[in-house]
Amino acid sequence: MSKVSPNLLLQRAEKEFLEGDYRMALQTYGLLLKDYPTMEEAKVGVYLSDLGIESEEEAQALFDYYQVIKKEKENAADIIDGLIESLSVTKLKLNELLVDPIQEQVEYGDGIRYSDFLDLVKSRGSFRKAFEDIMFSTKVVITDKDQFIDFVTKLAEEGFDEMALNYLDATSSLFGDDQDILALYNVVKGMKQ
């Protein structure tokens, strides 16, 4: 009996992961690791699938981020591993950053207002750093079209193209045929090239 191609197994595992079937993805990534124990993508897949069973949003966000950085960085798997390990620490640090006893805070559950996020961008010195700090633990609450356009444009400018497209796809029904929103697709795709 011949072995299944590792590329086919990897594609199947990624498809299962993206469809939210984390238990099947975990098994498929496990099969890959059995035959290819040093395959970094399979290791990351195991970590993220396991995380996805408990926290789907965090796992999907990390998966999207991994897809972006694996093309740019040789140590992408180590970066994701470190992020997973420090996820709870990041949440605590974020809470400390956002607590301002002088300023009245509006409760948004697990999210922060876009204006508060922009303040975090200023304090961190870059959109990318601020977004990486919160992307796994906090939602950015966007309340109008201009904020949405600004946010998606900045995501694309910072190399989070796939994530920007996912936001557009997820919210397309909210904006209908709004030409400004539809134009964002071209902006994001233009930055990908």
Q: What is the mean pLDDT of residues 171-176?
A: 72
Residue 10 makes CB contacts below 8 A (sequence gap 6+) with 32, 39, 41, 42, 45
Which is higher by pLDDT, 47 or 108? 47
Q: What is the mean pLDDT of residues 79-92?
A: 63
Buried b (16+ CB within 10 A) or exposed e, 21-40: bbebbbebbebbeeebeebb
3-class SS at 31?
helix
What does the pLDDT read at residue 139?
A: 83
Residue 175 makes CB contacts below 8 A (sequence gap 6+) with 145, 181
Query: 156: exposed, middle or buried (C-beta count within 10 Å: 0-12, 13-18, 19+)?
Result: buried
State the amino acid at position 32 in one-letter form: L
* Confidence category of residue 100, pLDDT binned at 50, 70, 90: very low
